[in-house]
Every structure is written in C-alpha cells, then in structure tokens.
Amino acid sequence: MRLKTKLACAIAFTLPLVGCFDSSDKQAEEAVSNANASEVSEIRLAMMQPPRTGLSPLSDDAFKLSRWSTAETLVNLSPDSEAQPMLATSWEQVEPLVWHFTIREGVTFHNGEKLTAKDVVNSLQAAINAAPKPRILDGIDLEVRALGDYQVEVKTTFADPLLPSRLSSPQLAILAPSAYQEDGRVVPISAGTGPFELLEINGTTSAKLERYDNYWGEKAKIESVIAEYVPDGFARAAALKTGTADVVEAVPVAQIATIDPELLTEVAMPRTNTLYLNSDSGVFSDIELRKVAAAAIDREQIVNVVYEGHADIAEGLLGPALAWAAPIRPERPELADDLKANGESIVIGTFTDRAELPEVAALLKQQLEAAGFAVELDIREYAQIENDALAGKFDAFILSRATVLDSGDPVAYMVSDFSCSGSFNLGQFCSEDVDQALKHADLQPLGKQRNQAIIDAEQAILNDYAAVPMLHERVIQGETGRVSNVVRDPSERRLINQFTEVK
C-alpha cells in the first residue's frame, strides 16, 4: 500500500488536472428523478475515448458506431468468433479466390434509401481506397463488384479462409452514399442500417441517437441514446455512482471498492497491456538493451499494485480470452537477472484515457531506473499523443491493445502492429522473418493448424523483443439498476442493441 500511495503522489505531480462529474447527492437525485419522469425511454452512456476522426467508420471510431448499434457490416461475429449473417444473408466461395455474398433485401438506410449491392460495393471500395487502410485490410488486396441488385462478388489475391470474418470488422461498415463526402470525409449521420439512427455528432463532447422504427430486424426497446465522452476514468466512475450515466465503459480498478458490486461486470478480454520498444532508432535499436528492459519488468508487481489482482500476468501477446493459445505456447527462456543499462535516457509515452496506464507508467519508471535507465514519462490524452506514437517519437510506448478486435482472429492485429508495412507499428519494427511467419499464418485454414502458426509468429516477435507483453486486462463495465440487457462484450464490439431496455 505504501508503494501505491507513492505512485498516486507521483502521478498527481506529473499529470494535468482533469475535470470530474459533480457527484453531489442533490444532483444525483435530480438526475434519477428526471430520468424516471421522462416520457421518452432514454439512456446515457459514458464512453471512454472521444472520437478522433469525427466518427468515421474508416478509423477506430468505427467501434463506437458498432457499440451503439447504428452501423452494421455484411457479417456478424458471434461470441465464439464464428461468422454469422448480418447485412449479407449468405456467402459462398465459388472459386479459390472468388466469393459471392447475397445481400439482405428489405433493408433501408436511416435516410430512407434502400440498401443494394451497389451501396455495399461503394462502402467497401471506400475502405479499400482509404489512406491509411482499415487495419483489417493491412496487406490485403480486394476487388469488389455488384452482380445484380443483391449480390456482391469479392475477389482476393490469395485463398483467404478468413474473408467472411474480415468483413465483420466495424471498419467495413456499410453506409449510405450520402455519408461519403467529396473531400474524403465520411459523415455517418443518418447513414447506417442499425436499430439506432445517429442524429447528432457534437464534436468530442457527445453524440445523440434515436430508435430507427424501420429497422429490418426487431425494433429497439429504447427510444433515445445520449453518448457522452468522459476520458477521465474517475469521472466515469462518479457518473455511475451518481446515476448521471446508465452505462459506463472501463470503470477504473481503483474505483471498484467504492462502487456497489451489483453495478459492475468483470470479464476476461482479448486485450493486452504491452510495452512497445522502438527498435528502429534510439536506445532500443540495440536488441541487448531491449533485453535489459524486458528483464527489468516485474509483471506480478504491476498486476498486484496497479490492477489489485483484476488482470492476468502475460506469458505472451495472446491472453486467457483465447483459451487455445496457452496450451500450445512453448516455454520461453529466462533472461538473466543481472542485466543492466548504463544510464541511457529513454522517454516512455502513454495516455490517460485508461486510468491504470499512468500508474503502470510510474511503476515501470521505477523498475527501469532500477535496471540502470534514466526514464522520462510523457502522458497525455490518447487523441493528443497518437500521432507522435505512430511517428516513432518515443523510445517506448505503453498501450492497452485489443488483439482480436477486427475479425476474431489475431493475425490482423499482429500484421498491423509488427509487420514492416503495419499501419499501427508503434515500435517501428521490421523483420523479414516475422513478416514471413505472419504471411504463413494468414494462409492457414481456421483451426489447430492456423492456431499453431499464430503462436509461431508470436514467438518470432517476442524473440526480437519488439514488445514486452505485461498483462491481460479484464473489462469492468458499469450498469445502473435502470437498465437491462446491456451487452457485455469482451471484444468491445457491442454495448447496446435493440434488446437493451429501461426497466
């Protein structure tokens, strides 16, 4: 506990002050009273991160559109990562490189226009032409064309067993033609096909959605949704405790003890807290110093001190949410305990949006300084630090990274983060051996053969110490007693849907 107190003090001096929800009892009572008195069934969401591209589906903002059930894809991914029909009712691999998708009839966009194969091609082509591409398309070349009003042909450059699952990525959502602007922007207002219509985008403050009564599936039970962006984790926790938000993303571990346990749900998730090391320039271009850093990290201390046991120690990039990974992962050789640096200066970056990461950074600073490094921290909101991180301006970067977010398969994440052409390569890492291992894994059929190839690629990455996986997170979601049937999705694709309701 003494170390925990020291960390809190260190962070207080290194981070800017952030605003918080007013947690007074009077405001809480008024909020609950107003909600109950409202004639419209409305829920309020406290989202962790504000949008970075105006809610463009071609960026990570796509996952907000998916979590709000406003934008939909051709294919849905089940909790077991199986491809299921959504806007496509069926698909067939007619040739090794050719797939045909049958488009659901009777679907309308939120602006009233009918969905046809032409609209599907338009959306997929926008993703193919995007710069940068959605990460699910890293290293993937597709050709798409309409075959009549309700059939789409997709051609690949290799026999891709994962294509239907790829098309479940929220970044490949199908939107109305009106969403695609001449200047290249994508504005999803009234352009989706889901049970909720996006009506307002209020910058990085909030968004408003309403029920779409002409939805092709079962009509939503909730009439109105207000999504507010609350990057400060302690403010999100306060919003849950006071009732000013009905559903809260990513409740900080440090706040769990102060919240009624009945309001919290904890699930192991495919998300790894990783230290990416810049292997292209600076101190960590030397693999021996990367080994020093890896040896210095005490994962158990981080899990116990920062996460209070609400996380799992990482043995690899893939955690317990992928149950098949651990049994086939080889035991890694131990690094020597006496590896030391010689006072080399390093800058570690991370962000405040996930409340635990600044604490992880402070503890890592102590651990790496004990190993002989001189450590400086750079901690900001994610929206303010992402560009610098992608440009390789840090010696190391701490990231909480979803490993199967796009397709239910970790190859896309590995290609994005660790291939020479990866679009999210924070460590500026490039290895011909790793690229070959990833290419081989992506060609394997689904099942044991593919799983083994994925673990082989993971080991190739770890053998170069391109990144140091520290722990696997658990999602802690908050829900007040006002709501039911909120989606508890460890892959973070869904939060509310047509079955979510106010009691």
Tell me how long the chain is: 503
What is the SS3 assignment for 208? Answer: strand
Highest mean pLDDT among 182-186, 261-265, 447-451: 261-265
pLDDT mean over 163-191: 94
Mean pLDDT across the stretch 24-28? 46
pLDDT in tens, 472-503: 998 899 999 999 999 998 888 999 999 999 98
Amino acid at 142: L
Per-residue pLDDT, 38: 45
| φ, ψ for residue 331, nearest 5 deg | -70, 130
DSSP H/E element including 96: none
Alpha helices, DSSP H, located in 39-116 = 62-67
Residue listed under structure tokens 């796509």: 62
Identify the architecture of domain 71-179 in CATH: Alpha-Beta Complex (3.90)
Query: At 294, is the pLDDT very low, low, confident or very high (cuts 50, 70, 90)?
Result: very high
Domain extents for the chain?
2-54+189-267+475-502, 71-179
Q: What is the pLDDT of residue 405?
A: 67
Measuring CA to CA, which residue among 484, 31, 26, 475 is closest to residue 228? 31
Rounded-to-integer distance, Cα 375 and Cα 367, Å: 10
The predicted structure's pLDDT at residue 10:
39
Given this model, what pLDDT does residue 338 score?
Answer: 85
Query: By the 8 A CB rule, do 457 and 449 touch?
Result: no
Q: Rg of the chain over CA atoms, in angstroms?
A: 23
**Beta partners for 201?**
207
Q: What is the pLDDT of residues 194-203, one digit of tens each?
A: 999 999 999 9
The whole-model pTM stands at 0.75
What pLDDT, on a 0 to 100 scale, did the predictor assign at position 145?
97
- Please compute the mean of the pLDDT values over residues 61-74 and round it to a whole number: 97
- For residue 132, say if its preceding peptide bond is cis, omega within 30 degrees of 0: yes
pLDDT tens digits for 417-462? 999 999 899 999 999 999 999 999 988 888 899 999 999 999 999 9
The values of phi and psi at residue 222, to 5°, are -90, 140
| Mean pLDDT along residues 91-107 | 97
Reference 471, options 400, 369, 389; nearest CA is: 400
Q: Which residue carries 């209070």 as its tokens?
A: 308
pLDDT digits (tens, 9 = 90+) for 374-392: 999 999 999 899 999 999 9
Tokens of 215: 């939805």
Strand partners, 145: 153
How many whole angstroms separate alpha carbon 368 and alpha carbon 357? 16
Q: What is the DSSP letter of 308?
A: T
Which CATH number applies to 2-54+189-267+475-502: 3.40.50.300, 3.30.499.10, 3.40.50.11540, 3.40.190.10? 3.40.190.10
Predicted confidence at residue 445, as pLDDT, reads 83
